Chains A and B, each alone.
Chain A
Amino acid sequence: MSDRPFTAASFDLFLGEGRLMATRCTGCATLHLPPRAICPTCFGESLEWVETSGRGTLAAFTAIAIGPAAMQAAGYGRDNPYCSGIVALEEGVTISALILGVDARRPENIHIGQRLVVGFEPITGRTVLAFRPA
C-alpha cells in the first residue's frame, strides 16, 4: 500500500498525515511497531506497511514534572506535568507515546488498562504520536 522505505522518517511522514503505520513481515506475518526493515522473528527482509487500528490500552505510564528541553519549550514543567506512556494496541504491538486528555497532576486517576485511541499532536514544530482516552 506504500513503497516508502522502512525508516523512522517514513513513520514520521505517516504521522503527519494522521496515520499510525506498522510494518508486517510478508514471510512470517509478524507485525512490528515501531516499523522495522528486518524482521527480528525470522530475519526476513520482505516487509509491507500496514495501518493500525489506533485503538489500544495503557500498559505503563508516568507523569513527568522535569521534562526534556523540547517538552519544556512546549510549556510543560513542574506546574504543568505531562503523561508519557506505553500503549498496547489491539493488534498486539506496543509503542511509546504522549498520553493526552488525562490529568497528569492526578496520576492516581490514570489507570493501567484504560482504553485509548490514537491522536496526532503538534509539539514544537513536529507531529508527535499521542493517545487519548477512548
Chain B
Amino acid sequence: MPKIHRLARGVAVVGAGMSAFGVFAQKSSRDLFVEAFKDLRASVDQGLDPACIESLFIGNFSSDLFEHQGHLAPHLADAVGLTPRPATRVEDACASGGVALRQGVMAIAAGLADVVLVGGAERMTRLPTAEVTDTLATAGDTLFETPAGFTFPGFYAAMASAYMHQYGMKAEHLMHVAVKNHNNGAVNPKAQFGQTIADWMQGRITSARQKNKPVPAWADVLDFLHDEAANPTIAWPLRLFDCSPITDGAACLLLVAAERAGEFTDHPLHLIGSGQASDAPLHDRVSLTGLRAAQAAAHEAYRMAGVGPADVRIAEVHDCFTIAEVIATEDLGFFAPGTGYGMAEDGVTARDGARPINTSGGLKSKGHPVGASGVAQAVEVWKQLRGEAGARQVPGDVSLALTHNVGGTGNTAVVHIFERRA
C-alpha cells in the first residue's frame, strides 16, 4: 500500500458562490465569474474584504476555442480587482474545476497562502453545437480515438453498451437517473433546467394544443422518454435526456487555512480528503464498466480523510451522461459493481433516499459549463452541509459530503471530501 499522504495543515471552505447556469448570449466568462464572485462574497458570514485574498486558481477547459480567449486566469483576476495576485488557469478537461480546487488546497496546505480563491468558468454556447462537440472531443485522444468517429456521448454510450452486456442494465434504468436529476434541478434556482421531465412533457402537450397540432399521447414520463421524436438518440443507447447540456456558467469557493476560518464564519466546512488520478484512453483499459482513475482518486481521498463510503451522507458526482452517474456511484464504493443502475428507480439516490446523489440536479439538469462544474459541485455541498439548500435540502443530519469530478472519459478524476463539525 502506498503511503497515506495528509495535508500539512488544515484547509476550510468559508464561502461559496455560483452564477446562474444556462444560455447567456451576452455574458462572457468574465461576466459569469464576476456574478459567481459576488454570490460568494454574499455567502461569507462575517463579510469578505477581497483584499485578504492571496492567490487564485481557475478551472477552465477551453476558453481558447469556446470564446477565442486564452490566458483566462489573469483576466478573471482583473475582473474582480485581484491583480497583481498570482492567478493560475488549471486545465484537465471537465475536471478542470475539481483540479483547481485541489491546487488551492495544496497552496494552503503547503503554507504558500492562507486565503485562496478557487474558481471555474466556461462560456460554451457562443459556438454552434457541432463546433462545441468538436471542441469537447479534443479532451479525448485526437490521434487514436477521434479517427474512429468517437464523440463524447459516443464514448459514454460505448461504456453503457459494455455495462448493459455485463450486468443486464436496460436503457430504461438510465431514464430514471435523468428523471431524478431533473426533479432536483427543478428546485435549484441556479439550474439551467428549472423543470422536471414531467413539466417538460406537459409543456410539449400544452404547446401542441395551442398550435392546434396533434397532441402526443404519452402515457407517462417513461413513455415520453421512449419516444424517439421527443427524446432522440444521440449515440445509442444514449438519448438526448441522457446527456448533460451545453452551458455557460461560473462558480467559486473561498478556501482558508483552517486556523483562520473563525475570521470568516462560525460554520466552515473542513476539507478532509483530496484525491486525483489519471488514466489512458478508453480502449487501453482493463475494464470498460468502471473508471480506474475515479477508483484511485476516491481511495486516496478516503484514506486521507480516514472515512469510508458508508460515512458519506450525500455526493455530487460527475453525471455528464446518465451512465456516468451509475458508474460513479460504484467507483466511489456506494454500491457494488453491477448494482448501481437500479438505485435511481428504487429511490435510493433521491433527495429523501438513503444515499442522495446530485441534489443540485447534477450536470444533467443544473448544467455543465465544463471548467466550472467541479467547483459548482462544492457549492452544492456548501449549501447542503450548512442547511441552506432550501427546497432541495436533504433531511436529517448532513455532516459529511463528497464531490467526484471527471475529465474526458476518466482520463482525469478528482475526489474531495468535506466535513461540517458540530
Which A residues lie at the B interface, using CB under 8 A?
8, 34, 59-72, 76, 78, 81-82, 84-86, 94-98, 104, 107, 112-113, 123, 126, 128-129
In the complex, A82 Cα to B134 Cα: how many Å? 17
B235, A128: Cβ atoms under 8 Å?
Answer: no
A70–B161 Cα distance when bound, in Å, is: 24
> Once the chains bind, are B146 and A68 in contact (CB under 8 Å)?
yes
Please list the 3 inter-chain residue pairs (A to B) with the smallest Cβ-Cβ separation, ordered nearest first. A62-B157, A96-B148, A63-B236
Q: Point out the residues of chain A lying under 8 angstroms from B141, CB to CB.
A: 96
Q: Which chain B residues border A84 with CB–CB below 8 Å? A: 148-150, 154, 158
How far does the alpha carbon of A86 sit from the alpha carbon of B153 in the complex, in Å? Answer: 15
Q: In the complex, are the beta carbons of B146 and A66 less than 8 A apart? A: no
* Cα of A132 to Cα of B165 in the assembled complex, Å: 20
Residue B151 at the A interface, CB < 8 A? yes
Q: Which residues of B contact A (CB under 8 A)?
A: 130-131, 133-134, 137, 141, 143-151, 153-154, 157-162, 165, 232-238, 281-284, 288
A70 neighbours in B (Cβ, 8 Å) = 146
Are B235 and A64 touching (Cβ within 8 A)?
yes
Chain B residues in 8 Å Cβ range of A129: 147-148
Q: How far is the CB of B149 from chain A (nearest CB, A)?
A: 4
Considering the complex, give the chain A residue whose CB is closest to the CB of B284: A94
Q: Is the CB of B283 within 8 A of A96?
A: yes
12 contacts between A and B (CB under 8 A): A60-B288, A62-B154, A62-B160, A69-B130, A86-B288, A96-B141, A96-B148, A96-B282, A98-B148, A104-B236, A123-B147, A128-B148
Question: Does A60 contact B162, Cβ atoms closer than 8 Å?
Answer: yes
User: Chain A nearest CB: distance from B309 CB in Å?
Assistant: 27
Cβ-defined contact, B282 with A68, below 8 A: no
A8 and B143 form a contact (CB under 8 A): yes
B162 / chain A contacts, CB cutoff of 8 Å: 59-60, 112
Tell me whether A86 and B283 are in contact (CB under 8 A).
yes
A60–B289 Cα distance when bound, in Å, is 10
B137 touches A68 (CB 8 A): yes
Q: Are A72 and B130 in contact (CB under 8 A)?
A: yes
Kindly identify which residue among B130, B146, B235 contacts A65, using a CB–CB cutoff of 8 Å.
B235
Q: How long is the Cα–Cα vector from A107 to B259 in the complex, in angstroms? A: 58
**Residue from B141, B149, B153 whose CB has the most chain A CB atoms within 10 Å:** B149
* Chain A residues within an 8 Å CB radius of B282: 86, 96
Decide: A68 and B235 in contact? CB cutoff 8 A: no
Decide: A60 and B161 in contact? CB cutoff 8 A.
yes
Which residues in B have their C-beta under 8 angstroms from that of A86?
158, 282-283, 288
Bound together, the chains give a CA A19 to CA B234 distance in angstroms of: 32
Instruction: For A62, list chain B residues within 8 Å (CB).
Output: 153-154, 157-158, 160-161, 235-238
Q: Is the CB of A94 within 8 A of B148?
A: no
A67 and B159 contacting across the interface, CB-CB below 8 Å? no
Q: In the complex, A124→B270 CA distance in Å?
A: 53
Pick from B143, B159, B232: contact of A60, CB under 8 Å = B159
Which of A65, A68, A72, A112 interacts with B232 by CB under 8 Å? A65
- Give the docked Cα–Cα distance between A94 and B141 (Å): 14
Chain B nearest CB, measured from A5 CB (Å): 14
Question: In whole angstroms, what is the CA distance A78 to B129 when docked?
Answer: 14
| B131 contact set on A, CB distance < 8 A | 69
Find the B residue at minimum CB distance from A127.
Answer: B147
Residues in chain B near residue A112, CB distance under 8 A: 161-162, 165
Q: A63-B236, A78-B232 are in contact. Are A68 and B151 (CB under 8 A)?
A: yes
Residues of the B chain whose Cβ atoms lie less than 8 Å from the Cβ of A82: 149
- Could you tell me the distance between the alpha carbons of A30 and B199 in the complex, rounded to whole angstroms? 55
The CA-CA distance from A126 to B61 in the complex, in Å, is 29
> Which of B143, B144, B162, B232 has the most chain A CB atoms inside 10 A of its CB?
B144
On whether the beta carbons of A96 and B161 are closer than 8 Å, the reply is no
